[in-house]
Amino acid sequence: MNAKANKNQGSCIEPSYYQAVTKAIRTQAVQILKEGTVAGLVGYLPGRRKGTARPALITTPEEAEKLIFSPACVNNLSVYLTKSKKGVLKQGRIGIVAKGCDMRALAGLMGESQIKREDLFIIAVDCAGVYGSGAERSETVTEANIARKCLECSVHHPEGADFVAGSATDLSGLTPLEAEEMARIEALPQAERWAFWKEHFSRCIRCMACRQVCPFCYCEQCLCDKNRPQAVESSPRPAGNTAWHIVRAMHLAGRCGGCAECERVCPMDIPLNLLNRRMAKELKELYDYEAGLAPAEKGPLTQYREDDDQSFIK
Ligand code: SF4
Ligand code: SF4
Ligand code: SF4
């Protein structure tokens, strides 16, 4: 049963839409847990504070009755399914609640052999958007409090799921703030662009929250933690910070699905998704490649082709 959405009138989604999605998720989750289709399910439960949500692994139909979907369901739950999170997938086939942007990460992780499609039951959400970081929270989701990524989402009607909760959301006509900011920075002279990023990188405290939340930062030993020999200075000083951000951007180029979780959790408000998007744009222009649209074993930066453009090598 699909929940029917309110039309996005005046960029405003009513709470009743999220309630209907919640109901559909609960019904489906109870069914697949009762039938034994899955051993557990990663979804959202209410947080301790009113109006919040928290990720949870549930294993019983009784717990499934408490699942929610609300604008506070910001986390990309695919991060719990990588091999580095030992234990979750060992339980057996796992259900997962996924927004469209989370599904891009799932496709990427399938391509990188972190998870197998047959080990998942995907309950996708026809998504009406989630709250932005620090945005004023109200009963309704509006253009003023929705996450920046949702302002120009192209994947909120998910495809390839086992079940879709909700339907007919319309997120068209919103102001693409991030695209505008990217165009502004691209138009700056090189020295000013460098000054922009230098200032942002200088505020990085190397808490590594952006790494911990990223579904694609699953290496058991991160190059940036290695100290014998040390590849990247680990204390928050300018040279090490710049190196860390270059390593992060390059390791995620062609893999990042754009969930913007890294930017959401950054305590220093560094616009990491601008870098992610810029790298994605390069990949699209150079290789006509977009990460996360379908499982792909290797992106353009991790495969060799004889017809690759070599002209930049002098
Ligand atoms: S980016 Fe799209 S799929 Fe992701 S939370 Fe926003 S509206 Fe939903
Ligand atoms: S979350 Fe922000 S402050 Fe922390 S390491 Fe990443 S960029 Fe730096
Ligand atoms: S780099 Fe950021 S936006 Fe990209 S997949 Fe990782 S957390 Fe998501």
Asked if the bond preceding 215 is cis, omega within 30° of 0, the reply is: no
Q: Over 90: is that where the pLDDT of 299 sits?
A: no
- Residue 10: per-residue pLDDT: 46
pLDDT digits over 176-211, tens only? 999 999 999 999 999 999 999 999 999 999 999 999
Confirm or reject: Cβ of 155 under 6 Å from ligand 1. yes
Angle at 169 between CA 141 and CA 292, to 5 degrees: 100
Dihedrals phi, psi of 241, to nearest 5 degrees: -60, -45
Token pair of 95 as six digits = 């259900």
User: Do 28 and 105 fall into the same domain?
Assistant: yes
Confirm or reject: Cβ of 209 under 6 Å from ligand 2. yes
At which of 165, 191, 210 does a domain end? Answer: 165
Q: Which atom of ligand 2 is nearest to the CA of 262?
A: 1
User: Do 157 and 242 fall into the same domain?
Assistant: no
Listed range (157-166, 282-291, 292-301) with the worst mean pLDDT: 292-301
Pocket test for ligand 3, best of 150, 248, 252, 278 (most atoms within 8 A of CB): 252
User: Do 128 and 38 fall into the same domain?
Assistant: yes
Closest CA relative to residue 32, chosen from 121, 92, 106, 105: 121
User: Do 115 and 201 fall into the same domain?
Assistant: no
Q: What's the gap in Å between 148 CA and the centre of ligand 1?
A: 9
pLDDT digits over 99-116, tens only? 999 999 999 999 998 999
Question: Do 308 and 241 meet the contact criterion of CB atoms below 8 Å apart?
Answer: no
- Residue 8: per-residue pLDDT: 46
For residue 6, is it within any domain? no
Pocket test for ligand 3, best of 262, 264, 290 (most atoms within 8 A of CB): 262
For residue 312, is it within any domain? no
Q: Which atom of ligand 3 is nearest to the CA of 210?
A: 7
pLDDT, average across residues 291-306:
78
- Residue 250: per-residue pLDDT: 92
For residue 257, is it within any domain? yes
Question: Do 147 and 132 meet the contact criterion of CB atoms below 8 Å apart?
Answer: yes
For residue 305, is it within any domain? no
User: Do 148 and 23 fall into the same domain?
Assistant: yes
Residue 138's pLDDT band, with cuts at 50, 70 and 90, is: confident
Name the average pLDDT for the chain: 89
User: Do 184 and 159 fall into the same domain?
Assistant: no
User: Do 147 and 221 fall into the same domain?
Assistant: no
Q: What's the gap in Å between 53 CA and the centre of ligand 2?
A: 23
Confirm or reject: Cβ of 109 under 6 Å from ligand 3. no
User: Do 38 and 119 fall into the same domain?
Assistant: yes
User: Do 94 and 158 fall into the same domain?
Assistant: yes
At which of 165, 200, 225 does a domain end? Answer: 165
% of the chain surpassing 70 pLDDT: 96
Going by their DSSP bridges, the two strands 94-98 and 40-46 should be labelled as parallel
Alpha helices in the chain (DSSP H): 15-35, 61-64, 100-111, 177-186, 190-202, 209-213, 238-252, 261-265, 272-287
Say which amino acid occupies 81.
L
Question: Do 25 and 166 meet the contact criterion of CB atoms below 8 Å apart?
Answer: no
Closest CA relative to residue 170, chosen from 186, 196, 190, 150: 150
Can you give the residue range of the structural domain that contains 76?
15-165
Token pair of 129 as six digits = 């958007």
At which of 135, 165, 195 does a domain end? Answer: 165
Scanning the structure block, which residue is given the tokens 């599904």?
103
Q: What's the gap in Å between 209 CA and the centre of ligand 3?
A: 11
> Number of folded domains in the chain?
2
User: Do 151 and 182 fall into the same domain?
Assistant: no
Q: What's the gap in Å between 102 CA and the centre of ligand 1?
A: 8
Q: Whose CA is nearest to atom 4 of ligand 1?
A: 101
For residue 223, is it within any domain? yes
Q: Over 50: is that where the pLDDT of 4 sits?
A: no
For residue 314, is it within any domain? no
Q: Over 50: is that where the pLDDT of 3 sits?
A: no
What predicted TM-score, i.e. pTM, was given to this entire model?
A: 0.90
User: Do 101 and 127 fall into the same domain?
Assistant: yes
For residue 280, is it within any domain? yes
Tell me how far CA of residue 111 lies from CA of 99, 114, 263, in angstroms: 19, 8, 24
Tell me how far CA of residue 216 lies from CA of 31, 211, 256, in angstroms: 31, 8, 7
Q: How far is CA 129 from the centre of its chain?
A: 13
Token pair of 47 as six digits = 């947080």
pLDDT, average across residues 288-313:
79
For residue 1, is it within any domain? no
Token pair of 134 as six digits = 């620090």
pLDDT digits over 13-55, tens only? 888 999 999 999 999 999 999 999 999 999 999 999 988 999 9
User: Do 187 and 151 fall into the same domain?
Assistant: no
Going by their DSSP bridges, the two strands 120-125 and 141-142 should be labelled as unpaired
pLDDT, average across residues 166-185:
90
